[in-house]
Chains A and B, each alone.
Chain A
Amino acid sequence: MPQSIKNGSSRPAGWGIVPGGATSLARELPIVLAGMGVFYSVIAFARYWSGPIGSQAEISLHPAALPKYALFSVLRLAIAYIFSFVFTLVYGYVAAYNRKAERFMIPLLDTLQSIPVLSFLPSVMISMAALFPSRQLGIELGSILLIFTGQVWNMTFSFYSSLKSIPAEMREAALAYRLSWWQRFWQLELPQAAIGLIWNSMMSVAGGWFFLMACEMFVLGSRDFRLPGLGSYLQTAANAGNMRAILWGLVTMIGVIILTDQVVWRPVIAWAEKFKVEQVGAAEIPRSPILTLLRSSKLLPFVTRSFVLPLREKLDLHFAKDHETRSVTKGSNRVPQWALRALGVVVLAAIAYAAAKMFSILATTSAAELRHIVWGAGATFLRVETVLLLAALWTIPVGVAIGLRPRLSAIVQPIAQIAASVPATALFPIILLVLIRAGGGLGIGSIALLLLGTQWYLLFNVIAGATAIPEDLKEVCSTYQLSVVERWRKLFLPAIFPYLITGLVTASGGAWNASIVAEYFHFRGQTISTIGLGAIISQATDSGNYRLLLAATLVMAMIVVTINRLVWRPLYALASDRFRLEA
C-alpha cells in the first residue's frame, strides 16, 4: 500500500487543540527538543559571529571541544547550503527561461564547476574581510562562501535541467489555466525538480565535508585564518601529528554525517517519493522512522493547519489575483526594454574589464612559471587517469558481482554507503602516517586520497548498472553456455557501459578538483607536497601569489572543460545511443 494513501486518510479531521496523553507526549518530545536545540545553536552562533576578531587562532585539541566545533561546522554547511539553494533557484530559473541569458549562463556554469574551491579563496576572503573588517562575521562569511562554491554548481545544473524537462503538455496546462508564477513554482516547477535537487543536495553536502578542512583553516599570504570547527580541528591535529585527536575528530565527523543522513536525508528522500513521476519497479519504497514519527505526530499537523496552510492560501490567492489583473492590463508592470539592455551592457563591460585585467596579470607570467604549470598539469593528468583506471579495475568486477546478487547487494550497499560518506580528506592524515612509516611519499599518497574520494561514484554506478541487466539476457547467456569471458564481452560490459560513463564523468571532475587537497598537505608542522597542478594552486594560495594562482586555475578549468567536451560528452552520447537497455 503506498504511503501516500495512509497519509491522506490519517489526517485528523478537525482544527482543534492538540489532544494530550502520555504516549503522544513521548512522541512529540523529540520534535520539541529538536526545535529548541536548533534555536539555541542559532543564538550561540549569532553571538560568536558578531564578536570581534581575535580568539580564532586557538583550536583546542581536547575532545570536549568537539561538540561545539561540530555544531559550528554543521551550521556553516547549513548556511552555505541555504545560499546554494537560493542561488540555484534564481540562476536555474533565469537560465531555463531566458533564452538569451541561457546561451552564456550554462557554459559559465560549466566553467565555474571546474574551478577548484581554493582558487576562489583569495578573492572571497579579501572582499569579505573588507566588508566586515572588525567582525568575525567577515571571515565566517568567507568560509561559508568557500563551502558554497564547492557545492552549488551541480545543484544549479540539476534544477536547470529539471525545469527544461517539464513535459510540454504540463506547461501548457499551467498556461491555459493561467497559473500565477507563484502557483506554477510551487505546484509544477519545484515538485518536478525535487528529486534531482535532493540527490544533488546530498552530493553537495558530502562535497562540503570533503573540502571542510580547506575551508576552515587556511593561510593567505601572511595571514593565518582559523575558524573553530571540525575541519580546523582535524587540520590542527594533523599539523601536530596528534593521532588521538585525529581519531576523535574522525569519529565525531562520521557520527555527525550518519546522524545527518538519518535525521535529514532519509526522511526527505522518503517524503520525496510522491514527487516521483513514474514508479518503475518500485520494489523498495524508501522508509524513514523519523518521517514516520513526524507523520504520526499531532503537533506538526496542528502547526501546519493553523499557520502554514492559511498563510499559503493567502499567498496563493494574492498572487492569483495579481496575475489576473496583470494579464488583463498586459505588461504594464514589466521592466522596460531599455533597462534590460543597459544592464546587459554593464555586465558585458564588467566582464570585458575583468578579462582585460586578467590578461594583463597573466602577461607577466614568467616562462619558468609556465613550464612549472605545464609539468604540474601533466603530472596531475596522469595521476587522475591512474586513479580512474585503478578505481575502474576494482569497482567493475566487484560492482557487477554485487549487482548480480540481490541478496549480497542488500547487505553490502548500506555498508558501502556509510564508507562512502566518510570524507577522504579526514582519513588523509591516517593514510599519510601509514605511508610515511612504510616509506612512501605524497606521490602515492595523493593517488590513494583521490582514489578514496572518487571510487564510490564508480562503484555505485556499476552496481546500479549490473542490477538493471534484464533477467532474460542473463538466461540467454546460460542457455547458449557462454564462457565467462564471452559473458563479460557480450553482456556485462556493454550493459554497464552507460552507468560506468556516468560514474567516470563525475569521478573525473571530482578528482581534478580534489587534487588541490591531495597534492599539498600540512602535516606534523611541515608542508608535504608533490608535483602537480593542485599543489601549485594550493601553494600559490598559501604564498599569496595571485598571478600563479590565476594561471594555474585557468589551466585546470580549461583542461576539465576540454576533457568533458572531447572525451566524456561523445562517450556519453555513444552510451545513451548504442548501449541503452530499452525497458
Chain B
Amino acid sequence: MSSPIVERLRDAVSQARWNEAVALLQTSAAPQAAEALGELPFEQQQSLFRHLPLDLAAGVVAQFPYYHQYVLLHSLPAGEMRALVDKINPDDRMRFFDELPEEAWQRLMDELSSAVPADTSGRHEPETARVPEPKLPQPGEPIIEAFQIEKSFEQPDGREIQIIAPMDLSVESDSIFALLGPSGSGKSTLLRILSGLTAPSSGSVRVHGQPLASCAPNIGIVFQSFALFPWLTVLENVEVPLVARGLEHPERHHQALEALAMVGLKGFENAYPKELSGGMKQRVGFARALAVNPEVLFMDEPFSALDVLTAENLRGELLELWIKDQIPTKSIFLVTHNIEEAVLLADRIVVLGTHPAKIRADFRVSLPQPRDRKSAEFLIYVDYIYKVMTQPELEPGPFTKLPSVRKPSFQVLPHATAGGMAGLLEFLNDRGGKEDLYHLAEELLMEVDDLFPIVDEAVMVGFADSTQGDVRITPAGKEFAEADIAARKKLFREALLCRVTLIQQIQNALQRKSDRAVPLEFFRDILDEHLSQDDVERQIETVLNWGRYAEIFTYDSETDRLLLIEASGTANSNETVPLH
C-alpha cells in the first residue's frame, strides 16, 4: 500500500528533482515523512537524505529504529553528521545512543569526536570554509606514577579489610584527571596516597621517577570542607604554606596577594573565613593551593559542599585559569562523584567500583574545551559512565581497559530507605514505567550518590530492572507502586524474604529462638567479617529500615535486640504466596 505522497516522492527522486522531493517531505509531519522516505530504495533514501535541510533531517531521522538511524547518519560526511546529531532533540538522541550496540556506539563516538560541525548554511557547497581542527589535549609526561598500590585497614579484631585493590595509576602533565566513583569507593583514599598524605599498604608511588617518601612533591590540595584555619584571616590562611616554605615577609605577602587576586578575592585579605560564604571560602582554599605554584593540584570533591550555581561558577573560573595557562600547574587531579563535573573538566576519567575500589573504566575524553553540556558527545560520555556505574556485572565497554570485574560474593545492601524506593517506583510508574537514569537524576534533582542506592534497592528486591543506563519497573514493582500501604508492606516483605540474604538470615535466627529475639550484635559480627566498621553501620541502618518497614522484625534500642513480628498476617501471607 503506497500513499499518493510516496508515489510523487518516488517520481521526484527518480528524476533527481531534489527540491520538489524536499518540499514534499516538508509538508508532511515527521512520522509520515519518515514513512515515505522509508518506502524508497535504500540508495535513493541516502541521496535524498543528503539533500534535506538540517532541521527536517533531524526530525525525520529520529523516527527510524536505531540501526536505520545509524546508517542514515553515515550517509553524511563526518562534519555534517555531527551537526545533525546536535540538532536531534535530546530525548530522541539519548534513546538512540542507549539502543546502539556498544561497538557501533563506540565507532560513532570516535567519528563524532574527531569531526567538526559543518557550517550548516554552506550545506550545498561541501568542503567550504572548514573551521580548523580543534587541538585536543595530548597526554604528556607522567608526573606521579603509582604501581600496584593497595590499601587495607585492620579491623579492631585484627581482620584485614581491603579498601583499594591493587592498581596502577599515573597522573600526567597537561591534563585534568578525574577519579569518579560512588561514595565510599575509596577515591579520597587514592588521592591521599598519590599526594603522599597516606602511605599505601603495598605498592609504590613515584614522583618524576623518585620514590614519593624521599622527595617533597610540589603539590596543592583543595579540600571538600575547605580546611581553612578559622582563626586566621584570609591572607594569613594563604600565607600558611608560604611560611612553611621559608618565604620571607615582603615576598610572601606579595605572592599571597597575587594568589588572592587570581581567584577574585582582592579586598578580602583581612576577613576571617567565618565572614565568607561557602563559595568564597573555597576560593580561599584555591588561593592557598595555588599560592605555592604547585606542579600538581589535587582537588577532593572541591565543589560538593557548594550550591549548584556557586559550584558552576567556580568550576568555570578554574577551567578558565587552566585553559588560558594562567596557573603554572601542570596537572590537576580531581576526585568527584558528579558525573557531569567529571566530563565537563577532565581529559581523562577513571571510574572506580566499590568493595574494594578497583578500576572499572579508564578513558580519555576527546572533547575540546569549553564543553557544551547539551552536545551529543557530552551526553554520550555521561550516558556511558552511567552505564558503567549502574551495572557492576557489565562487560567492559569500549573504553574500559581492565578485564571483567568479579561480582562480590557477599550481598551488600544499598544504603537506601524503603520509603525512598516507594517514591521512585511511584515516579517511574507515572512515567510509563521506564526512564533513563540520567534524566531521572536531573528531574529529581538528585546526585548520583543519592539516586543509585535507591535504584539498586529496587533492583535487588525485583521491583525494577536496570539495563543500559535505563531503569524499568517490573510487574511486581508496578503492583507495589499501585498498592496501598498495607499491601505494599506485604509485597516488600515477600520480596525481601525471597531475595535478600541478610533478611533471610535474620528471620531464620529469630524463628529459631524461643523468645524470638536476637541481639543485633550477633549480626554485626557476621557483617564485620566482610566490611569495614563504617560500612557495617550503614548495612545495619539499612537492614533495620527495611525490616521494620516490611514488619518482619522490630528493633529495641534499649536492649539492642531484634524482635520477630509474629502478626497473624505474616503467617497467612507466607502460605499464600502469589504465583506470578
Q: Which of B224-261 contact A (CB under 8 A)?
A: 224-225, 227, 229-233, 240-241, 243-246, 248-249
A183 and B229 within 8 A (CB) = no
Contact partner of B243 among A9, A167, A276, A316, CB < 8 A? A316
Cβ contacts B8-29/A at 8 Å (1 or 0 each): 0000000000000000000000
A167 and B225 within 8 A (CB) = yes
Q: Which of A504-547 contact B (CB under 8 A)?
A: none
Nearest B residue to A173 by beta-carbon distance?
B227
A5 at the B interface (CB under 8 A)? yes
Considering the chains assembled together, what is the distance between the CA atoms of A328 and B243 in angstroms?
A: 18
Cβ contacts B400-414/A at 8 Å (1 or 0 each): 000000000000000
Considering the chains assembled together, what is the distance between the CA atoms of A180 and B232 in angstroms?
A: 17
B272 at the A interface (CB under 8 A)? yes
Nearest A residue to B236 by beta-carbon distance?
A187
A173 and B223 within 8 A (CB) = yes
A188 at the B interface (CB under 8 A)? yes
B221 at the A interface (CB under 8 A)? yes
Nearest B residue to A329 by beta-carbon distance?
B214
B197 and A172 within 8 A (CB) = yes
A4 and B197 within 8 A (CB) = no
Q: Contacts A2-B272, A275-B231; is A172 near B221 (CB within 8 Å)?
A: yes
B219 at the A interface (CB under 8 A)? yes
A191 and B227 within 8 A (CB) = no
A277 and B224 within 8 A (CB) = no
Query: Hey, which chain B residues are within 8 Å of A178, CB to CB?
Result: 216, 241, 244-245
B274 at the A interface (CB under 8 A)? yes
A324 and B214 within 8 A (CB) = no
B526 at the A interface (CB under 8 A)? no
Interface size of B as a range: 35 or more
A352 at the B interface (CB under 8 A)? no
- Least CB distance, A305 to chain B, in whole angstroms: 12
Nearest B residue to A7 by beta-carbon distance?
B270
Contact partner of A274 among B192, B270, B272, CB < 8 A? B272
Q: Contacts A8-B233, A172-B192, A278-B274; is A321 near B246 (CB within 8 Å)?
A: yes
B246 and A324 within 8 A (CB) = yes
Cβ contacts A321-356/B at 8 Å (1 or 0 each): 101100110100000000000000000000000000
- Least CB distance, B409 to chain A, in whole angstroms: 32
Nearest A residue to B275 by beta-carbon distance?
A2
B487 at the A interface (CB under 8 A)? no
B271 at the A interface (CB under 8 A)? yes
Query: Hey, which chain B residues are within 8 Å of A180, CB to CB?
Result: 244
A566 at the B interface (CB under 8 A)? no
Judged by DSSP, the binding face of B is loop
A330 and B214 within 8 A (CB) = yes
B167 at the A interface (CB under 8 A)? no
- Least CB distance, B248 to chain A, in whole angstroms: 7
- Least CB distance, A388 to chain B, in whole angstroms: 25
A175 and B197 within 8 A (CB) = yes
B243 and A320 within 8 A (CB) = yes
A179 at the B interface (CB under 8 A)? yes
A472 at the B interface (CB under 8 A)? no
Q: Contacts A5-B271, A177-B240, A279-B274; is A170 near B245 (CB within 8 Å)?
A: no
Nearest A residue to B213 by beta-carbon distance?
A330
B292 at the A interface (CB under 8 A)? yes
B195 at the A interface (CB under 8 A)? yes
Query: Hey, which chain B residues are within 8 Å of A274, CB to CB?
Result: 230-231, 272
Nearest B residue to A276 by beta-carbon distance?
B230
B223 and A187 within 8 A (CB) = no
A169 and B223 within 8 A (CB) = yes
Query: Hey, which chain B residues are within 8 Å of A26, CB to CB?
Result: none
Considering the chains assembled together, what is the distance between the CA atoms of A328 and B231 in angstroms?
A: 30
Query: Hey, which chain B residues are within 8 Å of A410, CB to CB?
Result: none
Nearest A residue to B214 by beta-carbon distance?
A330
Contact partner of A324 among B216, B227, B270, CB < 8 A? B216
Cβ contacts A143-178/B at 8 Å (1 or 0 each): 000000000000000000000000101101101111
Considering the chains assembled together, what is the distance between the CA atoms of A299 and B244 in angstroms?
A: 30
Considering the chains assembled together, what is the distance between the CA atoms of A279 and B214 in angstroms?
A: 42
Contact partner of A320 among B197, B213, B244, B275, CB < 8 A? B244
B221 and A320 within 8 A (CB) = no
B272 and A4 within 8 A (CB) = yes
Q: Contacts A172-B192, A173-B227, A278-B274; is A324 near B197 (CB within 8 Å)?
A: no
Considering the chains assembled together, what is the distance between the CA atoms of A233 and B406 in angstroms?
A: 81
Query: Hey, which chain B residues are within 8 Å of A276, CB to CB?
Result: 230
Considering the chains assembled together, what is the distance between the CA atoms of A530 and B216 in angstroms?
A: 68
Q: Contacts A5-B271, A177-B292, A321-B246; is A277 near B230 (CB within 8 Å)?
A: yes
Query: Hey, which chain A residues are within 8 Å of B227, CB to CB?
Result: 167, 169-170, 172-173
Nearest A residue to B219 by beta-carbon distance?
A176
Considering the chains assembled together, what is the distance between the CA atoms of A233 and B224 in angstroms?
A: 59
Nearest B residue to A320 by beta-carbon distance?
B246
Query: Hey, which chain A residues are within 8 Å of B220, CB to CB?
Result: 176
Most B CB contacts (10 A, CB to CB) among A194, A278, A317, A321 go to A317
A313 at the B interface (CB under 8 A)? yes
Contact partner of A328 among B216, B221, B248, CB < 8 A? B216
Considering the chains assembled together, what is the distance between the CA atoms of A412 and B470 in angstroms?
A: 65
Nearest A residue to B221 by beta-carbon distance?
A176
Contact partner of A9 among B241, B248, B270, B298, CB < 8 A? B270
Cβ contacts A1-40/B at 8 Å (1 or 0 each): 0101100110000000000000000000000000000000
Q: Which of A267-283 contact B (CB under 8 A)?
A: 274-279
B243 and A183 within 8 A (CB) = yes
A179 and B240 within 8 A (CB) = yes
Considering the chains assembled together, what is the distance between the CA atoms of A449 and B240 in angstroms?
A: 51
Considering the chains assembled together, what is the distance between the CA atoms of A176 and B225 in angstroms?
A: 15
- Least CB distance, B514 to chain A, in whole angstroms: 29
Query: Hey, which chain B residues are within 8 Å of A176, CB to CB?
Result: 195-197, 219-221, 298
Considering the chains assembled together, what is the distance between the CA atoms of A317 and B242 in angstroms?
A: 10
Contact partner of B229 among A4, A188, A279, CB < 8 A? A188
Considering the chains assembled together, what is the distance between the CA atoms of A275 and B192 in angstroms?
A: 28
Considering the chains assembled together, what is the distance between the CA atoms of A316 and B249 in angstroms?
A: 11
A317 and B243 within 8 A (CB) = yes
Query: Hey, which chain B residues are within 8 Å of A169, CB to CB?
Result: 223-225, 227
Considering the chains assembled together, what is the distance between the CA atoms of A577 and B33 in angstroms?
A: 68
Query: Hey, which chain A residues are within 8 Å of B270, CB to CB?
Result: 5, 8-9
- Least CB distance, A272 to chain B, in whole angstroms: 9
Considering the chains assembled together, what is the distance between the CA atoms of A191 and B272 in angstroms?
A: 14
Cβ contacts B189-205/A at 8 Å (1 or 0 each): 00010011100000000
Considering the chains assembled together, what is the distance between the CA atoms of A167 and B230 in angstroms?
A: 12
- Least CB distance, A547 to chain B, in whole angstroms: 42
Considering the chains assembled together, what is the distance between the CA atoms of A180 and B216 in angstroms?
A: 13
Considering the chains assembled together, what is the distance between the CA atoms of A177 and B240 in angstroms?
A: 8
Considering the chains assembled together, what is the distance between the CA atoms of A170 and B243 in angstroms?
A: 16
B249 and A191 within 8 A (CB) = no
Query: Hey, which chain B residues are within 8 Å of A177, CB to CB?
Result: 221, 240-241, 244, 288, 292
A317 and B248 within 8 A (CB) = yes
A183 and B244 within 8 A (CB) = yes
A313 and B240 within 8 A (CB) = no
Query: Hey, which chain A residues are within 8 Å of B215, CB to CB?
Result: 328
B216 and A327 within 8 A (CB) = yes
7 A-B residue pairs with CB within 8 Å: A169-B225, A172-B221, A173-B227, A187-B229, A317-B246, A320-B243, A324-B245
Please give me the 10 A-B residue pairs with the lowest Cβ-Cβ distance, nearest first: A177-B241, A8-B270, A169-B227, A320-B246, A191-B231, A173-B227, A169-B223, A176-B221, A179-B244, A321-B246
A-binding residues in B (CB < 8 A): 192, 195-197, 213-216, 219-221, 223-225, 227, 229-233, 240-241, 243-246, 248-249, 270-272, 274-275, 288, 292, 298
B-binding residues in A (CB < 8 A): 2, 4-5, 8-9, 167, 169-170, 172-173, 175-180, 183, 187-188, 191, 194, 274-279, 313, 316-317, 320-321, 323-324, 327-328, 330
15 new A-B contacts at CB < 8 Å, known A177-B244, A191-B229, A320-B246:
A2-B272, A4-B272, A8-B233, A169-B227, A173-B221, A173-B227, A176-B197, A176-B298, A177-B292, A178-B241, A187-B229, A275-B231, A277-B230, A279-B274, A320-B245
